[in-house]
């Protein structure tokens, strides 16, 4: 059966709800691993209400707010089962969750992450920005190997039995002030940016998602 990617858009949703729905898709792919006629993979686009998420090996001290301060800022906190450290999700950010069977795609996890980064790098090219990788860190950066290094897209994944979940968080029109209350991805000496900040204008999020769809299909189909 020809592989296919089904794109879903869950809109603005609570993080816990999106996590549960991802788990359902994850279980679906696990159940169909031995089904040769099932070669469907899922990409979910969504945005979240303000939330800080911490990866399974992350350090809680990288969150600089207590529970009362979180509530004051209208944010919540979750420790998740993805890789990576702490990051922020909120309105204006395009989140992409990838529920892929890497075995059926014949991809290793490192190559998969590389391809995710390629998707974002090519997306940034459309807007005249040069995204690059930073040695020893996943995600996509601007001016990566300089004192002005700033992350525009975080990547954190879970993979079990070669099936993935979670994915990337691309800052489009994100309120970057929320990043002042964490050490993003565990870094204390690097900044965070967005398309809006770099381009000095609001960027149409639907356009970004449409461009991402095309790049994802180029990389994985």
Of the listed 86, 149, 185, 195, which one is catalytic?
Answer: 185
B/e letters for 101-134, b = 16+ CB within 10 Å, e = fewer, are bbebbebeeeebbebbbbbbbbbbeeeebebebb
Concerning whether 185 is annotated as a catalytic residue, the answer is: yes
The catalytic residues are 185
């Amino acid at each position: 059966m020809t592989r296919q990617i089904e794109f879903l858009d869950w809109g603005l949703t609570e993080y816990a709800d999106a996590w549960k729905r991802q788990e359902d898709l994850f279980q679906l792919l696990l159940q169909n691993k031995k089904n040769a006629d099932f070669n469907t993979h899922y990409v979910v686009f969504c945005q979240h209400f303000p939330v800080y998420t911490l990866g399974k090996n992350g350090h809680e001290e990288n969150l600089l707010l207590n529970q009362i301060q979180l509530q004051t800022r209208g944010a919540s906190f979750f420790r998740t089962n993805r890789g990576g450290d702490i990051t922020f999700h909120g309105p204006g950010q395009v989140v992409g969750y990838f529920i892929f069977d890497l075995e059926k795609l014949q991809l290793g996890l490192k190559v998969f992450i590389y391809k995710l980064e390629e998707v974002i790098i090519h997306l940034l090219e459309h807007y005249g920005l040069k995204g690059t990788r930073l040695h020893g860190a996943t995600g996509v950066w601007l001016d990566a190997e300089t004192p002005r290094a700033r992350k525009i897209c975080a990547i954190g994944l879970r993979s079990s039995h070669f099936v993935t979940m979670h994915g990337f968080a691309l800052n489009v029109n994100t309120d970057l002030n929320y990043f002042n209350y964490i050490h993003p991805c565990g870094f204390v000496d690097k900044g965070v940016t967005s398309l809006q900040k770099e381009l000095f204008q609001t960027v149409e999020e639907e356009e970004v998602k449409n461009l991402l769809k095309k790049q994802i299909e180029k990389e994985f189909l």
